[in-house]
Amino acid sequence: MNMRFLPLLLLALSLLAAGCFRTASVATPSGGSAAAVNQANFTVQDMREAIFKGCADRNWRAVDIDASTIEATNTVRNKHTVVVSIPYTAENYSINYKSSTNMGYKPKADGTYSIHPNYNNWVGNLDRSIRIRIAEKK
C-alpha cells in the first residue's frame, strides 16, 4: 500500500467509527396539560385514547400496565427495540425510558444517561403524535 494513503485511510476509519458510536442524553418528554386544561370535560379516558392513538400513528405497540400507565414498544428493522412507560392523568403525561436493545443506553459520569440519538427522535415523534391526538378532542 502506498504510504501517503495510509493517513487518509486512518482518518476515514476513525470518522466511520465515530459515527457508529454517537450518543445523546435520554429525553423524557411530557405534555398534555396545555391542551387538556383548555378542555373542561377532558377525562383520563380521553388521555388514554389519545396516547393509544398517538402510539398507533407511529407504529408503537401500546398496552395498559395499570389504570394510569401505558407501556409502549417500538421495534425498528427487527434490530432496535425501545420500551417506554407513559404514566398519565386527565391533565398530563410523560414518556419515560424503560429499556432498549441495541441502542447504546449507558450511564454518564454526571449521573445522567446516554443513548443513540434516534431514541430521542422516535420519542419526540411519539410525543408530537400524542399532542395532536389530544388537540383533536377539542
pLDDT in tens, 1-24: 566 655 555 555 554 444 445 666
d(CA 105, CA 113): 7
Average pLDDT of the segment spanning 53-71: 97
DSSP string, 54-118: HHHHTT-EEEEEETTEEEEEEEETTTEEEEEEEEB-SS-EE-EEEEEESS--EE-TTS-EEE-HH
Q: pTM value?
A: 0.77
By three-state DSSP, how is residue 25 classified? strand
d(CA 61, CA 45): 18
Question: So where are the chain's domains?
Answer: 23-136
Q: What are phi and psi of 60, to 5 degrees?
A: -90, 140
Q: Would you tell me which CATH number, out of the four given (3.20.20.70, 3.10.20.30, 3.40.309.10, 3.30.310.80), belongs to the domain 23-136?
A: 3.30.310.80
Confidence of residue 41 (pLDDT cuts 50, 70, 90): confident
pLDDT in tens, 70-88: 999 999 999 999 999 999 9
